């Protein structure tokens, strides 16, 4: 299944390189697959550490994690307003560039902003630092602006109609939207076409503002606004969190994931979708930037009829359902091995502990790319529309290849996957202790989930090392 | 317990960071393009970072050879050998694309792989 889609992508790349475009067509992904020794070392570390954590928990319960509150005073409010302005500005630039700029995704700033800076860069920033999305969220800012204007005009309820959000629908719209984004990003060849991207963003703008008007901003953003739910979930992993208006909270990474349970089946499905879509991306061999290659496929109209959309959708949803089923099965095994905690409770309680694995794979898969491709923003900032401007004198800057050595990339990839796994296993044990009280039942309860995490992590590792098997040893080497 | 953990971590790091002497060498390859493809044994050019790569390219038809990433380009006439030489300064896997002059682009689309791949491994 993946192979079909992949070959389609390769075909698109092969045919969309007209002679003149070469000088810009270097945004391929040049990553070397991690060598077998790294893979084995990573896998061994994962299994060893998993058992070490289990063994250490046999003896003692962990102390609650330490947190520090830092008072920032009025600086925080100022930074918040600055961030809102920045978010709105970037949003306007993206839309204008998408609609009015060149159709070449490499020369237009819109695809790089959306897929590299926002979808990869901001995700990793939110996970590793803190959730700044509510501040830079342009739709939230737009709504708040309109709301305050309407209020000033004398309507006391502002823009909100105050409809009741249907309880049964819950967070499912966000789940469906996240899977759709995954499909758009990985399968749909026009995802990096500036005009398509701007159109999709405008459609979403209309939809999300309507939703906020109907149900109220907070209710809408908690349930249907996929970006708010997504960044809020990543933000739970982050070491920094806001506390009130004037202070921030410092905490160990991941500790925010065990403060509460997910509260709904839809949220479980959402977290599993976060994990499965990013892995599916790697499985396709379709890295973030290959899609910007694919956008080049617009120049190849014959591609549109050679389908693969349905195949991609089936693959994406299939991986998600398998992962979801595997999680539910491991929870069912936990329930049958222990007493006193119901199945539903187990499913809700442990779901957040999968987030570190998703974050780790995201880092492993995208870190080097983010640095290399993100650097392209230096040139794009000078010429956002691709019309030969040179606003800051950087329009001809070209990011050097090999800025990050392959060996460093491998260390980051394997290191983050192992670290993410350790964190997930650790958090799962903490949740088990909270739910099952005593150490012994807690260890038994978290064994099925630990096994599942080892499987998820093994998949992450093999995706990082996967393309390795495709090439045979060359015998054309003649050393002098 | 902590000692065991750090020992394992240490082993992991040490086995990976094996310092090797920096002996820069020359690596010579041939790419013989026939009908827009090369022989199976010429499809992967494996070198180490810092190596001087020398490629002798020939083709049965005119066209342009392009190495992605390194942004190298060689215009070829039919049957005329050309030497391409450069230092492999950046690690990674870089595809060679062959753009045959007057060649139907649809035919290229069916060639699902790049002409060849340059693999630059860390030392």
Domains and CATH numbers, chain B: 24-121 (2.60.40.420)
Structural domain including A130 reads 9-473
Gap from A25 CA to chain B (nearest CA, Å)? 8
Residue A90 included in any domain: yes
Contact, A89 vs A381, CB < 8 A? no
CB contacts, 8 Å: A401 with chain B: 69-70, 90, 92, 94
Q: A403 pLDDT band (50/70/90 cuts)? A: confident
Contact, A237 vs A355, CB < 8 A? yes
Q: A470 pLDDT band (50/70/90 cuts)? A: very low
Contact, A28 vs B71, CB < 8 A? no
The side-by-side arrangement of strands in the sheet containing B72-76 is B44-48, B116-121, B92-100, B63-67, B72-76
Nearest by Cα to A409 from A358, A462, A465: A465
Q: What's the pLDDT at B102? A: 64
β partners of residue B31: B57
Q: B10 pLDDT band (50/70/90 cuts)? A: low
Tell me what percent of the residues of chain A surpass a pLDDT of 70.
Answer: 84
Q: Does A476 touch chain B (CB under 8 A)?
A: yes
Contact, A132 vs A125, CB < 8 A? yes
As a whole number of angstroms, the distance between CA B59 and CA A395 comes to 36
CB contacts, 8 Å: B24 with chain A: none
CB contacts, 8 Å: B121 with chain A: 32, 406
Gap from B108 CA to chain A (nearest CA, Å)? 6
The yes-or-no verdict on residue A171 having pLDDT over 70 is yes
Contact, A84 vs A135, CB < 8 A? yes
The side-by-side arrangement of strands in the sheet containing A240-243 is A68-71, A247-250, A240-243
The yes-or-no verdict on residue A137 having pLDDT over 90 is yes
Q: What's the pLDDT at A268? A: 97
Q: A10 pLDDT band (50/70/90 cuts)? A: very low
Its ipTM equals 0.71
- Token couple for A25: 């067509």
Q: What's the pLDDT at A301? A: 46
Of the two residues A34 and A343, the one the predictor is more confident about is: A343
CB contacts, 8 Å: B110 with chain A: 11
Residue A430 included in any domain: yes
Contact, B45 vs A479, CB < 8 A? no
CB contacts, 8 Å: A406 with chain B: 91-92, 120-122
3-state SS record for A37-87: HHHHHHHHHHHHHHHHHHHHHCCCCCCCCCCEEEECCCHHHHHHHHHHHHH
The yes-or-no verdict on residue B105 having pLDDT over 70 is no
Q: Does B62 touch chain A (CB under 8 A)?
A: no
Q: A57 pLDDT band (50/70/90 cuts)? A: low
* Sequence-separated (6 or more) residues with CB below 8 Å from residue A108: A97, A98, A101, A102, A194, A380, A384, A385, A386
Angle between helices A75-100 and A138-152 (to 10 degrees): 110
Mutate to test the interface with B, among A3, A10, A12, A14 (most CBs of B within 10 A): A14
Residue A136 included in any domain: yes
Number of domains in chain A: 1
* A302: nearest CA partner in chain B: B106
Q: Does A406 touch chain B (CB under 8 A)?
A: yes
Gap from B30 CA to chain A (nearest CA, Å)? 8
CB contacts, 8 Å: B89 with chain A: 402
> What is the torsional sign of CA B48, B49, B50, B56?
positive
Q: Does B52 touch chain A (CB under 8 A)?
A: no
Please give the backbone phi and psi of residue A314, each rounded to the nearest 5 degrees, phi first: -60, -45
Residue A2 included in any domain: no
Residue A63 included in any domain: yes
- Kindly give the residue spans of alpha helices, DSSP state H, lying in A114-193: 123-128, 133-136, 138-152, 172-186
Longest pairwise C-alpha distance within chain A: 84
Q: A280 pLDDT band (50/70/90 cuts)? A: confident
Please give the backbone phi and psi of residue A21, each rounded to the nearest 5 degrees, phi first: -85, -5
Instruction: Give pLDDT tens digits for A346-388.
Output: 999 999 999 999 999 899 988 888 888 888 899 999 999 988 8
Inter-chain CB proximity B92 and A472 less than 8 Å: no
Inter-chain CB proximity B109 and A11 less than 8 Å: yes
């Amino acid at each position: 299944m993946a192979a079909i889609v992949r070959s389609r992508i390769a075909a698109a790349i092969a045919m969309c390189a007209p002679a003149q475009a070469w000088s810009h067509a270097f945004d391929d992904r040049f990553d070397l697959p991690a060598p077998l020794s790294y893979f084995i070392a990573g896998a061994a570390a994962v299994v060893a550490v998993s058992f070490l954590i289990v063994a250490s928990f046999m003896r003692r319960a962990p102390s609650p994690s330490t947190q520090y509150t830092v008072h920032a005073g009025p600086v925080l409010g100022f930074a918040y307003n600055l961030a809102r302005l920045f978010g709105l500005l970037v949003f306007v630039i993206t839309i204008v560039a998408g609609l009015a700029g060149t159709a070449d995704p490499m020369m237009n700033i819109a695809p790089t902003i959306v897929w590299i800076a926002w979808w990869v860069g901001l995700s990793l920033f939110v996970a590793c630092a803190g959730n700044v999305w509510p501040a830079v969220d342009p739709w939230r800012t737009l709504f708040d602006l309109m709301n305050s204007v309407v209020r000033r005009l004398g309507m006391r309820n502002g823009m909100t109609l105050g409809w009741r959000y249907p309880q049964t629908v819950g967070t499912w719209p966000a789940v469906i939207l996240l899977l759709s984004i995954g499909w758009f990003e990985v399968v749909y060849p026009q995802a990096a076409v500036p005009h398509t991207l701007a159109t999709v963003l405008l459609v979403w703008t209309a939809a999300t503002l309507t939703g906020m008007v109907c149900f109220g901003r907070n209710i809408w953003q908690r349930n249907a606004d996929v970006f708010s739910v997504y960044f809020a979930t990543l933000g739970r992993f982050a070491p920094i969190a806001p506390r009130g208006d004037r202070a921030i909270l410092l905490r160990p990474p991941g500790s925010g994931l065990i403060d509460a349970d997910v509260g709904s089946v839809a949220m479980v499905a959402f977290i599993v979708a976060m994990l499965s879509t990013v892995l599916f991306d790697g499985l396709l061999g379709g890295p973030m930037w290959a899609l910007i290659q694919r956008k080049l496929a617009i120049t190849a109209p014959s591609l549109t009829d050679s389908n693969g959309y349905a195949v991609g959708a089936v693959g994406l949803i299939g991986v998600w359902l398998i992962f979801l089923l595997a999680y539910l099965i491991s929870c069912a095994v936990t329930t049958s091995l222990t007493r006193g905690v119901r199945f539903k409770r187990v499913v809700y309680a442990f779901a957040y502990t999968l987030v570190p694995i998703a974050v780790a794979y995201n880092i492993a898969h995208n870190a080097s790319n983010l640095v290399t491709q993100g650097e392209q923003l230096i040139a794009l900032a000078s010429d956002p529309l691709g019309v030969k401007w040179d606003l800051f004198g950087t329009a001809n800057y070209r990011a050097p290849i090999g800025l990050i050595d392959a060996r460093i990339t491998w260390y980051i990839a394997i290191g983050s996957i192992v670290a993410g796994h350790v964190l997930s296993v650790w958090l799962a044990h903490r949740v088990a202790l909270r739910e099952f009280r005593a150490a012994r039942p807690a260890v038994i309860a978290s064994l099925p989930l630990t096994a599942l995490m080892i499987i998820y992590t093994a998949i992450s590792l093999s995706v990082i090392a996967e393309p390795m098997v495709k090439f045979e040893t060359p015998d054309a080497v003649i050393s002098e | 317990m902590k000692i065991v953990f750090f020992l394992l971590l240490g082993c992991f790091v040490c086995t990976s960071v094996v310092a090797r002497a920096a002996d820069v060498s020359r690596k010579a390859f041939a790419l013989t393009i026939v009908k827009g493809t090369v022989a199976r044994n010429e499809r992967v050019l494996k070198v180490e970072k810092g190596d001087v790569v020398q490629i002798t390219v020939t083709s049965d038809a005119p066209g342009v050879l392009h190495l992605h990433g390194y942004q190298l380009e060689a215009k070829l006439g039919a049957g005329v050998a050309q030497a391409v030489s450069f230092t492999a300064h950046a690690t990674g896997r870089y595809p060679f694309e062959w753009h045959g002059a007057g060649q139907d682009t649809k035919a290229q689309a069916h060639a699902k792989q790049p002409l060849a791949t340059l693999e630059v491994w860390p030392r």
